[in-house]
Amino acid sequence: MKAAVTFYPREARRYHERLTFVFDGCVTRHVDVLGQGVEVEVRGECDSLLSSEVSPPIGTGCFKGNRLQRKTGPEREDVLRLGLENPTQRNVKLGSLMLGQKVKKQVVLVNRSPLDLSFTLLLNTNTPLDPRDLSVSPAGELNLKARGGSCGVEIQFSPRQHIPPFTAELQAELAGLLHPLLTVQGCCRAVEVQLDQVQLAFGAVVQRCRARRTMVMTNTGDIGAKFQWKTDDFPPELSITPAKGFICPGMEVPLQVTFAPVELINDTRYENLCCCVEGSSSAVTLTVTGSCIAASPSKEVVTFVCPVRGSHTQSVAVVNPTNQRCSITPVIEGEQWSSEPSVTLEPLQNKTCEITYRPLSVTADGKKHLGSVFFSFPDATGMLYSLHGTAEPPKPKDTIVHELPAKTHHTESLPVHNWLSKHQRFRVLMEILKPDHPDATVSLKGPEYMDVPALASRDYTMSFFTYREGTYSTKVTFRNEGSGEYLFYLVTFKATPPGVLSTITLATPVHRTASATVQVENPLTTVTCLTTECKCPEISAPPQHTVPGQSTGFLSFEYQPLRTGESTARLTLHSNDLGDFHYDLLLRALPPPPEKTVHFRTSLGRSQSLVVKFTNHGRFKAEFSGKTDCPDFTLDKARAQLVGSEVSIEVSFEPHQLGVARGQLSLSSAVGGDYVFPLEGLCLPPEAQGPVRVGAGRTVSIPFKNVLLEAATFSLQPKSNISSGSG
């Protein structure tokens, strides 16, 4: 047979008891039972207890505990001891990890007691930790042999979330008692961002109104991080501000969510609106609910009238129905209208807002531009106005008056602005409104087309020319042939009498001729006649000149000066069809060159007379006075009369000495000008005169002249010896 014996020692000592078994009341058997009660101690370091929790003495392995006083002193054989192989590992530091990192620490437990031990390892932390973040192995019941039995224990820290600094205690559970073995310290530094509310309800919002809700984003972690909402995934009616930014540890960021529905919608739900946080393993999400209801339209219609591309401003009343100050933004439908960016209203304030109508196209056939303006308030109510606009044909972009002389080419620049946000090509039409029937003497030219980039301006260059003075009213239209829209300018040119077309310089010696030619274009289809006028008598031009239709005529004239000097004159060509052509003449008469040399030949004591002839180029009768600069030459007469156009003057050569005598004959007239003739005379030795016949007994007078320039004594030497004399 078998009998169970329970040993429950009360003291830590040796026990010896005898058990008596009686069988059938007649057979007796005695059994000696020996046991020893020992104390349980769990040691973390040598000679040091880690716990004051000690069980009472135990025998063969049943542990029933009471609280005993901690004991010190030399080690005893009657104490159970469980401790670390390396006492320096009593405090295990896991460090500061980031998400995704992992650390493992290993320690060895040793049973130095005289009994085998069975226990379980537990982690006791000051803050709750997920076992998947901090774990110890092996798990379950561990058995260590007496006197040196050991096992390895691994502590693993692999955080998946932010964990503030913590302290955990590794404990051994023996017989229902917890005995500390070592402490574990560590933390996980991470971003931990959360919203104070993950669902926002807007309720019913009036169409085109805006409703706003505020929530707070908090970073309870210990690392700052960037955040950004995925606004591309937001519906058009939802927005959030700020959409991105940086949040520091412990910081709160207020976020404003705006619900601005445009389309009528019933209760709707926007889920999983995501915000990405740098360094966070999971995104922050938000859910928004709301609906859109129609606004009550206003019965009042605001009417606008103005020329196309002009403007007309009207004021509409806006009343703040709330008890809070607000700044509202007008929402306008219709590209022709604009308004102030915002209107600030005090509680219950009545204010006006200016609406401007700027049409870009003409309304025709009684049609109108239609639009509306809507004002939304913080209480999700609003005001709606209907807008009607009439765009009349455009007025002149500008009215330009320019005064210029006739026969002057004039260039006018007209700025053309493209009012659209796309390229435009304009066809240019130029019309002469006045006179009613302009002829070819008026010219208005420019490119037929011009291109203007979007919302830009370009200058259009046109040229104007007229032959006659007068007032010319023109209209220049720039039309988009695709849309039919246009703009135009009214340009008036006042042509005054023409000025000088050009200045012609002529230079020639006196009595010589210089010529020039002027060019005249006849734009008409008929012949035109030009009459010439010049008050300078030295200019010769044909009195009339004809130019065929649509051709160019050339008129030549001559300049023949009579006296040396410089002067100016004006040549005018007049046409009833083309007006006047004025030319300034700069005239320069150079000193006359010598005329042809007059040659004389005679002997000493005699004289020779020659007639000098020249042409009087003047237009009037002229008298010339003359002189010589050599006494050998003399004029027979002091003055000479005009004979037709030829003048004759007799010049005598009476030399005073042998050889060649040179002089200059100068003739001058206030009307006919000056002439200079070189004179050259050759004096030969004197020749015999006579014979002189003398009768017997008679006296004969022989004429004799002293041709020398001073008094002289002459001797008479006859060739015969009949008579002799002196004087």
Q: What is the CA radius of gyration of the chain?
A: 68
| CA dist., res. 2 & res. 375, Å (int) | 99
List all residues 6 or more positions away from 436 whose beta carbon is below 8 Å from its beta carbon.
none
| CA dist., res. 715 & res. 727, Å (int) | 6
What are the DSSP E strand ranges found in 50-138?
79-84, 91-98, 103-111, 117-125, 134-137
Alpha-helical runs (H) found in 523-576: none
Whether 526 and 573 map to the same domain: the answer is: yes
Whether 490 and 504 map to the same domain: the answer is: no
Show the CA angle centred on residue 400, arms to residues 398 and 403, nearest 5°: 175
- Closest alpha carbon to 143 in 176, 180, 181, 174: 174
Contact (Cβ atoms closer than 8 angstroms) between residue 653 and residue 632: yes
Whether 210 and 283 map to the same domain: the answer is: yes
Contact (Cβ atoms closer than 8 angstroms) between residue 119 and residue 63: no
Whether 184 and 199 map to the same domain: the answer is: no
| CA dist., res. 268 & res. 264, Å (int) | 11
Whether 472 and 526 map to the same domain: the answer is: no
DSSP 703: -
Tokens 């309720």, located at residue: 203
pLDDT tens-digit map of 639-682: 544 544 677 788 888 888 888 989 888 887 777 777 888 989 89
The strand order across the sheet containing 312-319 reads: 312-319, 350-357, 337-339
- Closest alpha carbon to 40 in 51, 25, 32, 30: 51
What letter represents residue 353's amino acid?
C
Largest CA distance in the chain: 255
Using DSSP's 3-state secondary structure scheme, residue 6 falls into coil
* Per-residue pLDDT at 725: 44
| CA dist., res. 19 & res. 30, Å (int) | 6
Choosing from 496, 528, 544, the residue where a domain stops is 496
**Burial of 409: CB neighbours in 10 Å, binned 0-12, 13-18, 19+:** exposed
* Per-residue pLDDT at 122: 87
Buried b (16+ CB within 10 A) or exposed e, 233-256: ebeebbbbeeeeeebeeeeebebe
260 lies in some domain? yes
Whether 380 and 504 map to the same domain: the answer is: no
| CA–CA distances in Å: residue 376 to residues 210, 295, 318, 463 | 6, 10, 10, 56
70 lies in some domain? yes
Contact (Cβ atoms closer than 8 angstroms) between residue 200 and residue 107: no
450 lies in some domain? yes
For residue 209, the Cα-to-chain-centroid distance in whole angstroms is 37
* Per-residue pLDDT at 557: 93
CA dihedral (702, 707, 708, 710) in degrees, to 10, reads 70
226 lies in some domain? yes
27 lies in some domain? no
Give the CATH number of the domain where residue 456 resides.
2.60.40.2310
Choosing from 156, 188, 220, the residue where a domain stops is 188
Q: What share of the chain is helix, strand, coil (3-state, %, to 5)?
A: 0, 55, 45
Whether 490 and 581 map to the same domain: the answer is: no
DSSP string, 273-324: EEEEETT-SS-EEEEEEEEEE-----S-EEEEEEETT--EEEEEEEE--SSS
DSSP 38: B
| CA dist., res. 587 & res. 688, Å (int) | 57
| CA dist., res. 460 & res. 450, Å (int) | 8
Choosing from 590, 614, 637, the residue where a domain stops is 590
List all residues 6 or more positions away from 599 whose beta carbon is below 8 Å from its beta carbon.
680, 681, 682
Whether the bond between 435 and the residue before it is cis, its omega within 30 degrees of 0, is: yes
5 lies in some domain? no
Cα within 13 Å of Cα(79), Cβ side: 17
705 lies in some domain? no
* Per-residue pLDDT at 24: 72
What letter represents residue 238's amino acid?
L
Whether 482 and 542 map to the same domain: the answer is: no
- Here the tokens at position 113 are 């007691």
Using DSSP's 3-state secondary structure scheme, residue 28 falls into strand
| Dihedrals phi, psi of 704, to nearest 5 degrees | -145, 140
Whether 387 and 418 map to the same domain: the answer is: no
Contact (Cβ atoms closer than 8 angstroms) between residue 294 and residue 209: no
| CA dist., res. 193 & res. 450, Å (int) | 61
Tokens 């005993």, located at residue: 68
| CA dist., res. 647 & res. 649, Å (int) | 7
Whether 343 and 476 map to the same domain: the answer is: no
| CA dist., res. 414 & res. 620, Å (int) | 58
Residue 85, number of CB atoms within 10 A of its CB: 14
| CA dist., res. 242 & res. 255, Å (int) | 6
pLDDT tens-digit map of 405-456: 999 999 999 999 999 999 999 999 999 999 988 889 999 999 999 999 999 9
* Per-residue pLDDT at 38: 67
Helices (H) and strands (E) in the chain, counts: 0, 55
28 lies in some domain? no
Contact (Cβ atoms closer than 8 angstroms) between residue 398 and residue 489: yes
Contact (Cβ atoms closer than 8 angstroms) between residue 371 and residue 464: no
Alpha-helical runs (H) found in 466-611: none
Whether 54 and 151 map to the same domain: the answer is: yes
* Per-residue pLDDT at 73: 44
Ranges under pLDDT 50 in the chain: 42-74, 638, 640-641, 643-644, 724-727
Work out how many domains the chain is built from and give that number: 6
| CA dist., res. 222 & res. 393, Å (int) | 69
What letter represents residue 228's amino acid?
Q
* Per-residue pLDDT at 355: 94
| CA dist., res. 345 & res. 342, Å (int) | 10
| CA dist., res. 647 & res. 637, Å (int) | 13
| CA dist., res. 461 & res. 456, Å (int) | 17
| CA dist., res. 28 & res. 20, Å (int) | 7
| Structural domain boundaries, residue 340 | 301-392
| CA dist., res. 524 & res. 631, Å (int) | 68
Strands 470-479 and 486-496: antiparallel
Residue 555, number of CB atoms within 10 A of its CB: 20
Whether 551 and 607 map to the same domain: the answer is: no
Give the CATH number of the domain where residue 528 resides.
2.60.40.10
